[in-house]
Chains A and B, each alone.
Chain A
Amino acid sequence: MLKTWIVTCETYLRQVKSWSFFFMVLGPFLMLGLTVGITYVSSRSNASSQNIAVIAETPALRQNFIAENPSNIDKQITTVTAAKKALHQNHLAGYLVLRQTDHQLRADYHGPKALGKGLKAQVQNYLAQTQQVTNYQQAKLTAKQQRLLQRTPKLTQHIAASTGTANLAKTISFWLIVTMIYIILVTYASITAQEIASDKGTKIMEIIFSSTTAVSYFVGKICGILLVILTQIAIYLLGGWAIYSWALSRPHLHAMWTQYHTLVTAILHNLLNLNLLYLLVGVVLFTLVAAYSGAVVAKAEDASKAAQPVVMLGMVGFFATFPFQNNLDALPVKIMSYVPFLSSYFMPMRIINGTVSLGTQWLSLGLALLTVAALAGYIGRKYQHLMLQTDSHSVWQHLFQRH
């Protein structure tokens, strides 16, 4: 047990002290920062070319329009000549010319593309309101007549807020969990295969196997890699919590937090339950197979090849979930939620949907754990022979060879 722990510590420390682990952990944060930064810079540089200019002979007509629709308006340009020049230089999306002739309002839009739906509706709304005011003035209606003519039918939509949020939370939780499982499985399958295969390339295994049993060493190795995975998950949880706390303390984000509070809580509830255990068991299963693949190769350079079947299996599970994202009660989902390797993807889907009993969840988890135990026992027995052997036997020969 002590020697297993020594191997676990050595594997863990060597991995977490490497630059590759540092960049792997920081990667998503860097990507997030880069995406936000690029989007911000891009939106700022595109902002001016997405604006339109409003030109009117009557200043009041222009000012009222800008007052009612302040966004996406270039307030500096006031003449057609300036607008044409800016349009030519691609600094404007277009320009709107407002005119009033004989109490008739008219608007002409000039630009390379038609007005966007939103802006078009705003223009039409403004024209209709202004024309109505002019019409009322011309018709010399009493205040009562004006109120009567302004009366419009009402349409009110009654949407159950809780149901809508719950569905959105399910969708987001689904994507988060399957993506998280997929990324962790694929990343650590390669790392594990590489780690084991690099051992095999050296004769130090002979020294190690003259010091401890193969099973003890193998278990130590796997535990070391699992600790690395847990460290990465812990860093992400802490990082997420830090970002969340920071966002809460920003006054301008407080309104958004209030709006999405229910959604965020629902997503956290979906993630921080038995699903985390499924994630872990799934990772252990895939790690074991990856370790076996790494042990089968003849030399370290073949490690990436060895990891391929495990990566493919992970991909199968990941992509198989896609057709069922809106049909979480389908029969294939129910069947696959019991199949070890696939259950890591499919049972969390059912748990998120809230249509699976606790007993069923534990049954599926038990099957996965039994597979872990069987695989660990099998590989542990074969491990010493595989690691010390440097022949070119195929995977199938290794599988069925008797020693």
Chain B
Amino acid sequence: MLSIQHIRKRFDDVLALNDVSFDVANGQILGLIGQNGAGKSTTFHSILNFITYDGQITWQGHAFTPQDFNHIGYLPEERSLMTKLTIEQQIVYLARLKGQKARDIRPQIDDWLARFAVKGTRKSKIGALSKGNQQKVQLICTLIHRPDLLILDEPFSGLDPVNADLLKRAILDAKQRGAAIIFSSHDMENVTELCDQLVMLRTGNVVLHGTLQDVRNQFGKTELFVTTDWSTDRLAALPGVASVTVRQPGQYRLHLTTAQAGPAIFQELTQGHYIEEFSQQPPTLDEIFRLKVGEDHA
């Protein structure tokens, strides 16, 4: 388990992290969200000991030691490889630095290239690959040694939906074999899809922390999705409805002033009859993100 307790980091006059605490259990995925400059990369750099910090970070119950390097897979925010090397040379070099033997890694390379649909062979020069394919090779370098702790800084940035799906599958595979995974993302859909828990940072402070459902439920089930032949005006006149949005003709999204208004609206709308859709939900992560960012700007 990765445990981060009361981390604090200051760069000159800027407090980059302020009392940040969370745990990532083995076999769990934690999503770290926040605006640019919120402190996500600083958190990763603290975990990796790239910078000094106040507080405590432990891995499997002890402070990180050079021996733990072999169990970490790290993908930095900006992609970067050694362009003069071939794919094979690059993967083998970085895997050897992770304590792997070249003879164990070489036979796996073709499989990994096929798995990520890399356009190129093991003998292709990194510099000759497209940006997207270089990114995939870097992902392979991050994953091929089967790390127990995966730290992925914006792993989906620049990936098309097909390749994003390939990466999701790889992340879920790592989770399946018990790796603790922490990744940052601006795409709330990916976070919703993958994460067991999330942490939102705002100017170095933790503003949200918990499982996805817990976080959403904190905001109450104020979103109501209905399919009905009622008009917009009639829906807006219902008690407790703050606003109405048309999703499709006959399909509406009602924003409630309070979650308690739901049962009364259900009674009014159905009158004891069948209704095709009535779903009361908390706000989406994307909405919560915008809400929290908005609080900062307010």
Contact = CB atoms under 8 A, between A and B. Distances in A.
Interface of A: 3, 6-7, 10, 14, 202-204, 206-213, 216, 384, 388, 403
A212 B45 CA distance: 15
A211 B48 CA distance: 10
16 contacts: A6-B93, A202-B82, A203-B79, A204-B80, A204-B81, A206-B50, A206-B76, A207-B74, A210-B69, A210-B72, A211-B72, A211-B94, A216-B66, A384-B50, A388-B50, A388-B51
B182 interface: no
B84 interface: yes
Contacts of B80: 202-204, 207
Contact of B76 (A6, A14, A207, A403): A207
Contacts of B97: 3, 6-7, 208, 211-212
Contact of A10 (B48, B93, B98, B151): B93
Nearest to B75: A207
Interface string B221-241: 000000000000000000000
Given A207-B141, A213-B66, A384-B50, A6 B96 contact: yes
Query: Which of A207, A213, A403 has the most CB atoms of chain B within a 10 A radius of its CB?
Result: A207
Chain A binding surface, main DSSP class? helix
Contact of A211 (B51, B69, B76, B77): B69
Nearest to B81: A204
Query: Which of B50, B52, B77, B98 has the most CB atoms of chain A within a 10 A radius of its CB?
Result: B50
Interface residues of B, number: 28
Contacts of A6: 93, 96-97
A211 B98 contact: yes
A203 to B, nearest CB: 4
Contacts of A212: 66, 69, 97
Nearest to A204: B80
Interface string B70-106: 1010111111111011000000011011100000000
Contacts, number: 57
Contacts of B77: 203
B269 to A, nearest CB: 55
B50 A209 contact: yes
A207 B95 CA distance: 11
Interface string B150-168: 0100000000000000000
A268 to B, nearest CB: 39
Given A210-B48, A210-B69, A203 B76 contact: yes
A91 B134 CA distance: 68
A385 to B, nearest CB: 8
Query: Which of B52, B69, B142 has the most CB atoms of chain A within a 10 A radius of its CB?
Result: B69
A212 B77 CA distance: 19
B79 to A, nearest CB: 7
A208 B97 CA distance: 8
B48 A209 contact: yes
Nearest to A198: B82
A207 B81 CA distance: 9
A403 B52 CA distance: 7
B97 to A, nearest CB: 4
B282 to A, nearest CB: 37
Contacts of A209: 48, 50
Nearest to A13: B89
Query: Which of A7, A10, A388 has the most CB atoms of chain B within a 10 A radius of its CB?
Result: A10
Given A3-B97, A6-B93, A403-B52, A210 B74 contact: yes
Contacts of A10: 93
A10 B97 CA distance: 11
A206 B74 contact: yes
A210 B50 CA distance: 8
A325 B93 CA distance: 49
Contacts of A216: 66
Contacts of B81: 202, 204
Contacts of B82: 202, 204
A200 to B, nearest CB: 11
Contacts of B75: 207
Given A6-B93, A14-B84, A212-B66, A203 B141 contact: no
B50 A203 contact: no
A213 B76 CA distance: 17
A127 to B, nearest CB: 73
Contacts of B85: 14
A3 to B, nearest CB: 6
A46 to B, nearest CB: 48
